[in-house]
């Protein structure tokens, strides 16, 4: 039987309860995530080149996350003094000030979050959790240590989840630049014959099960 106290969170689960130390002081999850969107992401190690490029880009795009009401939280198994020194190095050497907290973790915390993949490495993989204001895990991405993340896709995913929640719709591939319907949004498929007939006459469509409309502004 799976131990619910150590099983990694799955989509729709509450984010696990964790009390942690960060570069901004102590934090308690999911309490410090409530009522806001969060992007919680791990990196293999401080003072590594791929991770450094990611943190610089996360910081340079931070205003876009802020505008979405979304906080950034980083994590690795390095100790907090290593995080602090790395953040100082980034500011002094690259002239970028990291303004989001970095969690110091241990193997237990990383395992609880599914960030340790033993057949890949002893370091944390590049995990990304997008958490909604009700502290539900809404999206999970994993990247291997050797491949840096696409920050545009993370921003796009937060935007798409917010639109889906606000307008009760689905979003197409590559939204808002889909080849078939551009920046339109998809009406959830009808579940009965009456709604199928109504939707087909009410919305643009390829068929009754593929109806779409412009984004509500």
Distance CA 118, CA 140 (A): 19
pTM of the model: 0.91
Residue 5 within a domain: no
Say which CATH number the domain at 174 has.
Answer: 3.30.1020.10
CA 138 to chain centre: 8
Q: Which of 121, 149, 177 is the last residue of a domain?
A: 149
For the segment 15-35, the average pLDDT, to the nearest whole number, is: 93
Least confident of 63-67, 126-130, 145-149: 145-149
Residue 66 within a domain: yes
List the beta bridge partners of residue 72: 39
pLDDT of residue 122: 65
pLDDT of residue 178: 97
Note whether 41 and 145 are same-domain residues.
yes
Digit-coded pLDDT (tens) for 155-167:
999 999 999 999 9
Note whether 134 and 206 are same-domain residues.
no
Distance CA 98, CA 159 (A): 23
Distance CA 21, CA 200 (A): 54
| Active-site residue list | 51
For residues 111 and 124, the answer to whether their CB atoms sit within 8 Å is no
For residues 36 and 115, the answer to whether their CB atoms sit within 8 Å is no
In this predicted structure, the answer to whether residue 208 has a pLDDT above a threshold of 90 is: yes
Note whether 43 and 95 are same-domain residues.
yes
Range of the domain at 185: 169-213
Distance CA 30, CA 131 (A): 9
pLDDT-derived band at 212, boundaries 50, 70, 90? very high
Digit-coded pLDDT (tens) for 77-123:
889 999 999 999 999 999 999 999 999 977 778 778 877 777 766 66
Question: How would you classify the pairing of strands 210-213 and 185-187?
Answer: antiparallel
Note whether 119 and 72 are same-domain residues.
yes
Report the candidate in 52, 64, 65, 63 with the shortest Cα–Cα distance to residue 96.
Answer: 52
Residue 63 within a domain: yes
Q: What is the DSSP letter of 209?
A: T
Average of per-residue pLDDT values in the chain: 91
Q: Measured over all CA atoms, what is the biggest interatomic distance in the chain, rounded to whole angstroms?
A: 64
In this predicted structure, the answer to whether residue 60 has a pLDDT above a threshold of 60 is: yes
Note whether 76 and 111 are same-domain residues.
yes
Distance CA 86, CA 204 (A): 52
């Amino acid at each position: 039987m799976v131990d619910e106290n150590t099983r990694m969170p799955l989509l729709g689960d509450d984010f696990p309860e964790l009390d942690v130390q960060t570069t901004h002081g102590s934090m308690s999850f999911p309490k410090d995530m409530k009522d806001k969107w969060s992007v919680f992401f791990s990196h293999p190690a401080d003072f590594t080149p791929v991770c450094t490029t990611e943190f610089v880009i996360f910081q340079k795009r931070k205003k876009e996350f802020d505008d979405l009401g979304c906080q950034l939280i980083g994590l690795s198994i390095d100790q907090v003094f290593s995080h602090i020194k790395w953040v100082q190095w980034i500011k002094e050497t690259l002239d970028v000030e990291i303004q989001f907290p970095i969690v110091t973790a241990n193997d237990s915390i990383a395992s609880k979050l599914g960030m340790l993949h033993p057949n890949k490495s002893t370091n944390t993989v590049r995990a990304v959790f997008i958490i909604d204001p009700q502290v539900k895990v809404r999206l999970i991405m994993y990247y291997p240590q050797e491949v840096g993340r696409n920050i545009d896709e993370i921003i796009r995913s937060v935007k798409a989840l917010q639109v889906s929640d606000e307008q009760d719709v689905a979003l197409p591939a590559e939204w808002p630049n889909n080849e078939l319907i551009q920046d339109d949004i998809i009406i959830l498929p009808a579940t009965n014959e009456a709604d199928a007939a109504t939707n087909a006459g009410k919305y643009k469509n390829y068929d009754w099960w593929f109806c779409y409309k412009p984004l509500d502004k």
